[in-house]
Amino acid sequence: MNKGTVLIFSILPLFFFLAAALAQGAGPQDNPFFAPYNTPFDTPPFERIKNAHFLPAVEEGIKREQAEVDALLANAAEPTFENTLVALDKTGKFLSRVTAVFFSLQSSNTSPELQKIAEQVSPLLSAHRDNIALNPKLFARVKKIYEQRAGLKLNPVQLYMLENSYKDFVRSGAMLEEARKTRLREINKQASLLSLQFGNNLLAETNDFKLILERKEDLAGLPPSVVDMGAATAKQVGMAGKWVYTLQVPSWTPFLQYSERRELREKIHTAYCMRGDRNNDKDNKEIIRKILALKLERAKLLGYATPADFILEENMAKNPGAVNSFLEKLWAPALGRAKSERDEMQSIIDREKGGFRLEHWDWWYYAEKLRKEKYALEDSAIRPYFKLDNVKQGIFLLCEKLYGIKFLERKDLPIYHPEVQTYEVQEADGRHIGVLYMDFFPRASKRGGAWSGGFRRQYYENGKRVAPISNIVCNFTRPTADAPSLLSTDEVETFFHEFGHSLNTLFSDTAYETRNIPRDSVELPSQIMENWALHPELLKLYARHYKTGEIIPKELIDKIDKSRLFNQGFATVEYLAASILDMQWHTLKDPAAVDVNRFESEAMSRIGLIREIVPRYRTTYFNHIFSSGYSAGYYSYIWAEVLDADAFEAFKEKGLFDKATAASFRKNVLSVNGTEDAMLLYKRFRGAEPKIEPLLKRRGLLAE
């Protein structure tokens, strides 16, 4: 994760660096960004921040950072690590403070106004980034230090920072001739706007569709909780007395799991799969072609054959060949397992004399039947034990057992939406670690999925640690009139996952704000947390029935544990298919005139994807690679799973809650992520490079 003045933007998701809001007449005197916040822990004063405040604050931030860089360049002394790299690391604090607020709101609480504003400000930020990254005098200073590095007495963290800063400048185009720099600036500007448009289109497409049911017979098969969810959604959108299901995952997934109305399952799943592909004003196909053409042109300008070659050079994988080889090793066993799962479900259809072939909109429904048949386990029987508040307390308990930290709810911190919860995070002795915001439920103003970001990253100022402010944003099942939020097992694992990212942010304790985390290692802190989510030892401590308070019975825990490999063929195949599709797009040599749907279809045909499974993300709604930071990097989740599966073995060897192992993981990984080579940090924790066998066992791709 490089600092914003260099290439933080090539690593973090696009939403985390795009823009700010339009101002019309808001001056510094009434703009909260221009004065001390005077809030607990210096948290953003959301109740005082208006849309009109963003643009002047962003413009001021750009001016200040440029002035800070100019002052650095005006130093007549010979370039040194301190007067150049450290000085550069300290620039841009004001701009970061402003943009961090907007980046979060743009994703979690957006509006048409904010979206239009982002389109205005995005070119300003793109130009500002290029003004720094392409500054020849600044690069000359960094280059001189880099060339002298062998004779400098730099510690490993400083050397890593220097080497990566130099590479970032080169990869940003610092060595290009002026005409090529000019073209690169235009490419960056166009790409940022197109990526923003892609994300806005996807949000609109997701919000546009509603499955409106008016007859009770159309609710056949749906459990009472899912019926109540539909009624609550209908009431929210002004259709009281009806039932409404949307393309938000907590809505359409249980509908697909339980609805006996096959034509309705087809309707909602097809709508989900056709987002951005309906040949309307929100269609993403032409945007995709333009984005890919710009990425290819940028890669070639910088001396790389494809965007994937450019991107992967900085990852642990290093090149497309290594990624493709890794994915191929997993594909064949995963596809074989998925075919077996398909055949089992087709047997149920045939046994029930359904008279049809399993389709992709049938998979969830018959998978749920198969789970009940094989393990006597239903999602509706599990959810009552996963009340959101109980799961949250389970995570807090796990963190206390591992790291000795505690979470104190704060009602006095400003929030940007009434549903947001805030906590102060402390060490066991009461020392302040940071602040955590959590925002759990879907709404039209929030993009889909789940993520963890922040309103402030950790850094040091005058020798004092400035504590981070982290946030977790999800789209979990909402409470209904009759029940609190009851999570699915997938949602439980998602919560643990995002909390791992947040711990990485909160535990950060590095001398410099500049960090470089390879994209394919960034998921280690999050994915290792998933290992505890449904572990029998932890379930017994937090999973309680929301009505009776009864701890989850051993019989149900055993069923969950025995079913852990259930549907893993499907889960692995849909994920790998999307990862392979990502790599295919980013190694394409001529994307400008490609037929998007034909290319996708042919790519999936070549790997033998069965017709009953759709890639987790079809191209037209593949937000990760077209409007986020995972271009040629979606594979990184399962690459990092090799790391996390191997890392969790250390806890299995020493004890699930072993504090010494947790302390080592915090010290060698979480606190210093991005300050040295990712594999070196991992080996300091584990003592050796990771083995792939734990991952294969977990996915059911290797006999235990």
Point out the least confidently predicted range of 6-15, 200-209, 290-299, 678-687.
6-15
Residues 24 and 123 in one domain: yes
Average model confidence (pLDDT) for the chain? 94
| Of the candidates 323, 327, 301, the residue with the CA atom closest to the CA atom of residue 313 | 323
165's enclosing H/E stretch is helix 156-171
Q: Is 567 within a domain? A: no
Domain stop point among 217, 242, 273: 273
For position 116, what pLDDT does the model report?
85
In the predicted structure, residue 3 carries a pLDDT above the cut 90 = no
Average pLDDT over residues 202-226: 97
Q: Is 603 within a domain? A: no
Q: Kindly report, residue by residue over 614-638, the tens digit of the pLDDT.
A: 999 999 999 999 998 899 999 999 9
387/116: higher pLDDT? 387
Q: Is 19 within a domain? A: yes
Residues 537 and 645 in one domain: yes
In the predicted structure, residue 108 carries a pLDDT above the cut 50 = yes
For position 10, what pLDDT does the model report?
30
Q: Is 653 within a domain? A: yes
* Domain region containing 429: 383-562+636-698
Average pLDDT over residues 215-221: 98
Q: Is 577 within a domain? A: no
Q: Is 314 within a domain? A: no
In the predicted structure, residue 24 carries a pLDDT above the cut 50 = no
What's the half-sphere exposure (Cβ side, CA atoms, 13 Å) at 214? 1
How far is 160 from 348, CA to CA, in rounded Å?
57
Angle of helix 596-607 relative to helix 285-301, nearest 10 degrees, comes to: 80
In the predicted structure, residue 407 carries a pLDDT above the cut 50 = yes
| Percentage above 90 pLDDT, the chain | 92
Q: Kindly report, residue by residue over 476-515, the tens digit of the pLDDT.
A: 999 999 999 999 999 999 999 999 999 999 999 999 999 9
How far is 392 from 467, CA to CA, in rounded Å?
22
How far is 225 from 390, CA to CA, in rounded Å?
18
Residue with tokens 């493709």: 324
Which value, in Å, is the radius of gyration of the alpha carbons in the chain?
25
Residues 670 and 548 in one domain: yes
Domain stop point among 253, 273, 293: 273
Q: Kindly report, residue by residue over 463-483, the tens digit of the pLDDT.
A: 999 999 999 999 999 999 999
For position 256, what pLDDT does the model report?
98
Residues 545 and 655 in one domain: yes
For position 703, what pLDDT does the model report?
55
Q: Kindly report, residue by residue over 339-380, the tens digit of the pLDDT.
A: 999 999 999 999 999 999 999 999 999 999 999 999 999 999
Question: Is 602 an active-site residue?
Answer: no
Q: List the strands of the sheet with 451-456, edge to edge.
A: 406-409, 421-426, 432-439, 469-473, 451-456
Q: Is 348 within a domain? A: no
For position 294, what pLDDT does the model report?
97
Residues 534 and 640 in one domain: yes
Q: Kindly report, residue by residue over 421-477, the tens digit of the pLDDT.
A: 999 999 999 999 999 999 999 999 999 999 999 999 999 999 999 999 999 999 999
For position 592, what pLDDT does the model report?
86
Do the beta carbons of residue 274 and residue 240 sit within 8 Å? no
Residues 148 and 242 in one domain: no
Domain stop point among 147, 171, 195: 171
Point out the least confidently predicted range of 61-75, 94-108, 648-662.
94-108
CB neighbours of 326 closer than 8 A, spacing ≥ 6?
A: 317, 635, 639
Active-site choice (68, 498, 513, 676): 498
| Count of domains for the chain | 3
Q: Is 631 within a domain? A: no
Residues 420 and 527 in one domain: yes
Residues 159 and 268 in one domain: no
Name the token pair of 693: 């066998």
Q: How confident is the model at residue 9 (pLDDT cuts 50, 70, 90)?
A: very low
In the predicted structure, residue 25 carries a pLDDT above the cut 50 = no
Residues 97 and 245 in one domain: no
Residues 163 and 218 in one domain: no
Q: How confident is the model at residue 22 (pLDDT cuts 50, 70, 90)?
A: very low
In the predicted structure, residue 149 carries a pLDDT above the cut 60 = yes
| Of the candidates 271, 246, 252, the residue with the CA atom closest to the CA atom of residue 488 | 252
Q: How confident is the model at residue 5 (pLDDT cuts 50, 70, 90)?
A: very low
Q: How confident is the model at residue 18 (pLDDT cuts 50, 70, 90)?
A: very low
In the predicted structure, residue 704 carries a pLDDT above the cut 70 = no
How far is 587 from 292, CA to CA, in rounded Å?
10
Q: In CATH, what number is assigned to the domain containing residue 388?
A: 1.10.1370.40
Residues 152 and 226 in one domain: no
Residues 148 and 263 in one domain: no
